[in-house]
Structures are given as structure tokens and as C-alpha cells.
Amino acid sequence: MTRARALLFALALALAACAPPAEPPIVLDLSGATAPLIDPYRFGEGGATTDQRPGARPAQETDEGGLWMRMDRVEQDLRTSGNLVRDPELNTYVQGLVCALAGPYCSDIRSYVMRLPAFNASMAPNGVMQVWTGLLVRCRDEAQLAAVIGHEIGHYVRRHSMQLWRDARDKTDFLVFFQIAIAAARVPFVTDVVTYGVIGSIYAFGRDAEREADRIGLALMARAGYDPAAVPAIWRQVVREDEADRYRAFRTIYFATHPTPRERLETLDLLARGTRTERRESGAERYRAIMKPRRLDWLRDELALRRFDRMEILLATLVEDEPAAGDLRYMQGEVYRLRGDPGDEAKALDAFRAAAAAEAPPAETHRSLGLVLRRTGERAAADAAFADYLRLKPAAEDRAMIEALIGEAP
Amino acid sequence: MTRLGRLALALGFAATPLLAACDRYTLTETAPVTMADAYVVDPRIAWNRRSQGRTEIWTVDGPMLQELRFVNGLEDGEVLFGGTDAKKLPPFSPRMTAIEVVEFFALSFTRAGVTNFEHRALRPTAFAGRGGFRFEFAYSLEDGLAREGFAVGAVRDSRLYLVVYSGTQLHFFAKHKADAEAVVASIRPRGGPAP
């Protein structure tokens, strides 16, 4: 038996060794193509004839028209939501990217940036697209954001919500589905990520729909000149975060509705490598110019979730691109200071010191540095750091508390 | 059960069945009460009173609605709540400053399953005759119910003392806030003069 197993193992090894080097077939050829944006990509599943047409709206008396009307009311609520980010420059940027990707569907898709932590974006059947700040803070460049937005546009064009809805209606749980659908799209005034996670499950389009959206998304972003490698890259980052979380109580919301990340990653890798295209832009500098001045508050939202293991991965990824960014190094320090694993104190000190020496660190860097130094018994250095904090932020809300700490007997 | 357990934990019930918990309530008199041999308070009104390890809970309408919680001398390595999720909770350390105690408090609540925990207005204040701190906080339960509260406390002889008043933002927090403030104002060292 043991011998048989060893033989099988050896055979398996040999087969693996014999496998040809992975040279994926060309699945999409964009070299020199000037075709219109979406029409050429009828990926053979026969969905194209039922695609949403640009500028079209379903007739009111149809079931689809009814769903759109309800979603329009939800959109009204969204416009007055406390989580809506109204920053005109940011909104212009995101909608601009939507238009660059969606082409003739540009004015059919309305993007809403929501101030909510965690990686997520969603598409309602009437073209309302939510982009969470937790997604913006996780993308390393424009190409990665284009990958996710392109995917969502894929859902819109193929009318996946409608298919899903009709499917549910044919079963018996139509009413439940409908109510949950409305609730899911309605945004409460609190950053209640857990609630979103639960209700988000109605957007589980199913594996085939996700594959379709993946392929359309990849085609759209590659067509717009972005590097297709960004598609597997962004998903890989999020999977790494998920796997690092020791509690795993909160899976990335997106994965509640987008199945089997591992298998999907492999498929996306093949698709990306099989895409022949001449332009392979990342748009990293343009992306950073918009996001960098805004991201500290978004990172604070992430920190408030206290999912330290995930945030450690996220920050390590961002720091690779910007080792001298004071805000990122400060946040790294906060993760280690608050997590408190063995060795975290030293890591926190390193990060705060690096932040203090970097460009534009937040004033709180010095406050946190003081707290860690105090913990390690370096009271004089701690007090000096606290004094730096109060000098840089004279109106700090916790000024009296910090002054009390400075004055405390050792 | 997990969800209910977490909810109960966050509310101070631990995982105790409701009826059993009710059995152990007694009514406070208005006479001064000595807490953990450390300090004395005046209840001012009659509260329903229950002990749970190092913690004592006072309530008028039930801890789901409002509670005054006395954490009486948490030691190095101990966690803020008992119950099923205790092993997920961060340990207290006597080296914590007031700022870090608030962070410890926030992390304990978050790990126990509450969302949107926010704190504000941390400032130094006297606690039983010596230096301490006070802060305010708010959070939501998993079902979206919003609660708010305030706390005073101090780290003394390497132990954490907290007096925490909290309740639902709708009605019950406000209902006995003044009474809770009066209790807090009456905190004095054992043997010290009444305020």
C-alpha cells in the first residue's frame, strides 16, 4: 500500500514536471483594435442579445420597470445619506473612470462614493454604482480600480440583477428577495459594515455571472489602456488580507457575494496573461495624486474596525509603493501599538520613528510615539514626544489628558 | 446562541440565562455602598443590583436598557467581560495610561461584537480623591440599536477601576443619567468624608 502510494506520488511528480510551461492562449486580442467598447465582447454565452442597451430604460409596466422604479427611490435616499462623499473632485475622478470604461453606457451608470471602510463596490439594476472608500484606499493604482469598476459595469450590461431576480421569483422566495434587495441598496446613516455584510448576500450573482463580469471587466479596462495584470493583482491583495485575519469573523464583504477567490484568481491570471494589448498603463501617479491627500481619514475608518491583521497586510502593500509616506507609516505604528502581539512594541516604535522622519506625518504620530516610549519606560523621551504633539496640534481634544501624563510622577 | 451570547456579553449579561440572572438581583438601599473595599458611593435612588465576578451592575429598567457598571479592580491579564468570547478580548495591563485604557475598553467592546464604537472627550478628573479620567462613548449593537455612555475610572495599585453608565440612545440613557452622575459625584475613598 505504502509502495503503491509512493509510486503514485512519483508519477504525479513526473506528470507535473512534464507539464508544458504555462503559455496561455490568446483569449482577447486588442492590438490595434478600434472597435466600439462593449459590443465585440460577446463571450459566446449568448447573453449579448439580452444585454442592457445604452440609454435604454425598461417599460414601466414590466417587472423590470417596477424594479428600476423602486431602485430610483433607493437612489434618492442614497443622495441624502450621511455616508455619501460629496467631494466634487473625487466624484469627477471616479465618474470619469466609469465613463472611460463604460463608453456608450457612461451616462447610464451613476457612481456614488460612500465613506465606508472595507473593500466593496456594488451595482444596482438601474445603474447606481456604489464605490466604498475602503476600495479606494486598497487600490494601488488606477488600473486596479478600473478592474473592479469594469467588473461592476459587466453586471450592469449583462443585467445580472434582473436575471437573479427573475430566478428568485420563479422560486417561492420572491417577496423576501425583493424586500432584501431594497434594504440592501438603502444606506443607513451609520457605518454599519456588519449589516452590509448580511444584506449584501442578495448580490450573490452566482459563479457564471461573476465569470462573465470578470471577463467583461478585464476587456473594458484593457481596452481603456490599463494593464490587465491589475485584475488578478487587486483580487490577490484582498485574498491575502482575508487569509491573514486570525479571527476570520469578518470575511471581506465582497467575497460573501463573489465566490471562490482562489479558483477565480487562477482564471483571472490566465485571462490577463492571454490578453494581447499594446498599452499597459497603471495610472499610479494620477491615482495617488487624488487619493493621497484624502486617505488618512479612510485609513482611520479601517483602523476603527480593529481588524489589525488585515490592516497590517494592507499597509505593507501600500508602503511598498511609498516607503516614505508619513501617513502610512503612522498607521502601521497604530496597528502594532493597538494589537499588542509579542514584538509589536518594537515594530510600533520603528514605524512611528520612520513616520516622524517621513513626509507629512500626522501630529498624532508624536502622541503615539510618546505612549509606546512610556510603556517601554523611557519617560523623558515620551514626555518630549508628547510635547511635540501638543506643539503641532495646540487645540488637540485630549490636550488636558496629555498634559496630565507629562506632569505625572514616574 | 453565538449571536445572542455576544449580544448578552456586550450588554453585561455574560451568557447567563435571563431568568437565572434575575434571581440574583437585589435592591440597593439609599445608604452608602462600599465597593471592593476601595471606595464608597451613594446610590441616591433604588437600583436593582447584581454581582458578576469583579463587576457589579446596577439598573432600574434592566441592563438591556440602562446600566451602571462598576469594574472593581481588574488585574494584570484580566479581560473586561466574562462569557463565551472572553478569549478574544484584550488583556488589561497595569502599564496602561488613561488613553490606553480607553483603547482597551473600545477594543473589548468591538471584539464582543458591537459596531461603530466611538469615544470622545477624554479628560483628567478626580476619582475617589486622587487622579483619574473620564470619557464618553457610543456604539451600536448588531441589530442597529444605538447606545451611549460615559465612564470614570483610574488605575490604582496596578488595578483598573471603572464606573460606566450606559443605555439606549432612545430614552433610557437620558432617563437615569442625572442619577448616574450623582452616583459618580459621590465616589469617595473608604473612610473619606461624604461630598
Distance CA A351, CA A379 (A): 19
Q: How confident is the model at residue A188 (pLDDT cuts 50, 70, 90)?
A: very low
> H/E/C letters for each residue in chain A?
CHHHHHHHHHHHHHHHHHCCCCCCCCCEECCCCCCCCCCCCCCCCCCHHHCCCCCCCCCCCCHHHHHHHHHHHHHHHHHCCCCECCCHHHHHHHHHHHHHHHHHHHHHCEEEEECCCCCCEEECCCCEEEEEHHHHCCCCCHHHHHHHHHHHHHHHHCCHHHHHHHHHHHCCCHHHHHHHHHHHHCCCCCCCHHHHHHHHHHHCCCHHHHHHHHHHHHHHHHHCCECCCHHHHHHHHHHHHHHHCCCCCCCCHHHHHCCCHHHHHHHHHHHHHCEECCCCECCHHHHHHHHCCCHHHHHHHHHHCCCHHHHHHHHHHHHHHCCCEHHHHHHHHHHHHHHCCCCHHHHHHHHHHHHHHCECCCCHHHHHHHHHHHHCCCHHHHHHHHHHHHHHCCCCCCHHHHHHHHHCCC
pTM for the model stands at 0.82
pLDDT at A306: 86
Q: How confident is the model at residue A264 (pLDDT cuts 50, 70, 90)?
A: confident
Q: How confident is the model at residue A252 (pLDDT cuts 50, 70, 90)?
A: low
Chain A 220-279, residues with CB within 8 Å of chain B CB atoms: 247
Flag if B95 and A338 touch (Cβ within 8 Å). no
- Lowest average pLDDT, out of A116-120, A142-146, A149-153, B61-65, goes to A116-120
Chain A 75-114, residues with CB within 8 Å of chain B CB atoms: none
Smallest Cα–Cα separation from B167: which of B62, B52, B16, B55? Answer: B62
In a domain, B194, yes or no: no
Instruction: Convert the pLDDT of each residue in A93-123 to its tens digit.
Output: 999 999 999 988 999 999 999 988 888 888 8
Question: Which residue in B106, B122, B142 is closest to A194 by CB distance?
Answer: B142
Instruction: Convert the pLDDT of each residue in B52-64 to its tens digit.
Output: 888 999 999 998 8
Query: In chain A, which residue's Cα lies nearest the Cα of B124?
Result: A401
* pLDDT reading at B103 higher than 90: yes
Q: What is the mean pLDDT of residues B101-108?
A: 95
Domains of chain A: residue spans and CATH: 29-284 (no CATH), 295-407 (1.25.40.10)
pLDDT at A254: 58
Look-up: residue for cell 485574498?
A239
Q: Output the CA torsion sign for A143, A147, A152, A157.
A: positive
Q: Which position has the higher pLDDT, B12 or B152?
A: B152
Instruction: Convert the pLDDT of each residue in A5-51 to its tens digit.
Output: 444 444 333 333 333 444 556 666 666 554 444 444 443 344 456 78
Instruction: Convert the pLDDT of each residue in B143-170 to its tens digit.
Output: 678 899 999 999 999 999 999 999 999 9
Kind and range of the H or E run holding B125: strand B115-127
pLDDT at A382: 97
Q: Which position has the higher pLDDT, B6 or A295?
A: A295
Flag if B98 and A405 touch (Cβ within 8 Å). yes
Query: In chain B, which residue's Cα lies nearest the Cα of A397?
Result: B121
* pLDDT reading at A251 higher than 70: no
Domain that holds residue B86: 2-189
In a domain, B195, yes or no: no
pLDDT at A32: 57
pLDDT at A147: 96
Query: In chain B, which residue's Cα lies nearest the Cα of A301?
Result: B116
In a domain, B168, yes or no: yes
Question: How high is the mean pLDDT of chain A?
Answer: 80
CATH number for the domain harbouring residue B54: 3.40.1000.10
Whether ipTM > 0.90 holds is no
pLDDT at B158: 94
